[in-house]
């Protein structure tokens, strides 16, 4: 069952998405060399509660924090910690989810802490362009396969690989609803998009090494959460919530 949202649900989803984006921007401003990822997590939780919302990740399948802070080779689900100090040049992905008035919002962005090293801006650019192209496909009559294909095809064309086992998703009364939105797909396949569908589209990419095979996969560390690239290369992860409307895609988490 793929839930479609009513007008009043969409109003709240719009508000929640704006809250999540505003907090994410605050976290990006705070992500300076010398700051611990735990300090960012505390800031996120305070801002979420001040907005009258609740952290959506905390306790989700036992996840122990409010945000995910994934640094360099970490793709997603990096756990904030007091011992993890941000360093100049780190590629930092911040992922945040909230619940408010019975509806969820979820967004992520990747930034460089301090001065970018070689390739970091290109990496982030590829993730953002893959997301832009996927959003462009979020139209009535297109399919989930069209959206997913836009991510993977663009990444591969730029010489990048993408997460195979971690996916975007529908979002609304649950953080993860149907349909799943993978980083790769076949045009025309999968469920057809209808007005009122809200998708969290979240490309996760890294530069493929010369010896890397197309089927090389990300893996999960022994902490049971942190996902890392196959050969330790830095990864980028960006995520927006998109409402499918008769007039085209509406990016609910757009930066204002």
Region from 60-68, 82-90, 122-130, 136-144 binding ligand MF3, contact rule CB under 6 A: 60-68
Q: What share of the chain is helix, strand, coil (3-state, %, to 5)?
A: 30, 30, 45
Please provide residue 4's backbone torsions phi and psi, each rounded to the nearest 5 degrees.
-105, 145
| Cβ-based nearer residue to ligand MF3, 241 or 248 | 241
Q: Which residues from 86-115 bind ligand MF3, rule CB under 6 A?
A: 95, 97, 106, 108
Write the binding mask 227 to 246 for ligand MF3: x where contact by CB under 6 A, - elsewhere. ------------x-------
Q: At what angle do helices 7-30 and 37-50 cross, to 10 degrees?
A: 140
Report, in Å, the least distance between residue 7 CB and Co ion. 24
Instruction: Answer yes or no whether residue 57 interacts with ligand MF3 by CB under 6 A.
Output: yes
> What CA–CA distance (Å, rounded) separates 16 from 168?
18
Asked whether the beta carbons of 192 and 244 are under 8 A apart, the reply is no
| Cβ-based nearer residue to ligand MF3, 88 or 223 | 223
Nearest CA to 96 among 134, 51, 128? 51
Per-residue tokens: 153:
């095809």
Per-residue tokens: 185:
């797909």
> What CA–CA distance (Å, rounded) separates 4 from 246?
13
Instruction: Answer yes or no whether residue 99 interacts with Co ion by CB under 5 A.
Output: no
Instruction: Answer yes or no whether residue 77 interacts with ligand MF3 by CB under 6 A.
Output: yes
Q: Which residues from 176-215 bind Co ion, rule CB under 5 A?
A: 200
Q: How many CA atoms lie within 13 A of 68 on its CB side?
A: 27
Write the binding mask 57 to 96 for Co ion: x where contact by CB under 5 A, - elsewhere. ----------------------------------------
Q: Is the peptide bond before 50 cis (omega within 30 degrees of 0)?
A: no
| Cβ-based nearer residue to ligand MF3, 97 or 234 | 97
Give me the residues that bind ligand MF3 (CB under 6 A), please: 57, 60, 63, 68, 77, 95, 97, 106, 108, 169, 200, 202, 239
């Amino acid at each position: 069952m793929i839930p479609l949202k009513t007008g009043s649900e969409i109003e709240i989803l719009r508000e929640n998405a704006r809250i999540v984006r505003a907090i994410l921007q605050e976290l990006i401003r705070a992500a300076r060399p010398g700051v611990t990822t735990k300090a960012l997590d505390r800031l996120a939780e305070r801002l979420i509660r001040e907005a009258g919302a609740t952290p959506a990740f905390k306790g989700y399948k036992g996840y122990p924090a409010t945000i995910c802070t994934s640094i360099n080779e970490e793709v997603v689900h990096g756990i904030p910690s007091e011992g993890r100090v941000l360093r100049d040049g780190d590629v930092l992905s911040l992922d945040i989810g909230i619940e408010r008035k019975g509806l969820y919002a979820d967004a992520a962005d990747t930034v460089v802490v301090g001065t970018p090293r070689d390739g970091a801006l290109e990496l982030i650019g590829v993730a953002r362009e893959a997301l832009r192209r996927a959003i462009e496909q979020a139209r009535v009559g297109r399919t989930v396969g069209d959206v997913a294909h836009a991510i993977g095809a663009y990444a591969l064309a730029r010489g990048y690989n993408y997460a195979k086992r971690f996916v975007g998703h529908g979002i609304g009364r649950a953080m993860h609803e149907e349909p799943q939105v993978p980083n790769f797909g076949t045009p025309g396949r999968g469920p057809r998009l209808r007005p009122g569908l809200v998708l969290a589209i979240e490309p996760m990419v890294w530069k493929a090494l010369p010896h890397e095979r197309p089927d090389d996969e990300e893996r999960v560390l022994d902490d049971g959460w942190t996902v890392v690239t196959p050969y330790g290369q830095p990864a980028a992860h960006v995520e927006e919530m998109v409402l499918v409307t008769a007039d085209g895609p509406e990016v609910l988490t757009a930066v204002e």
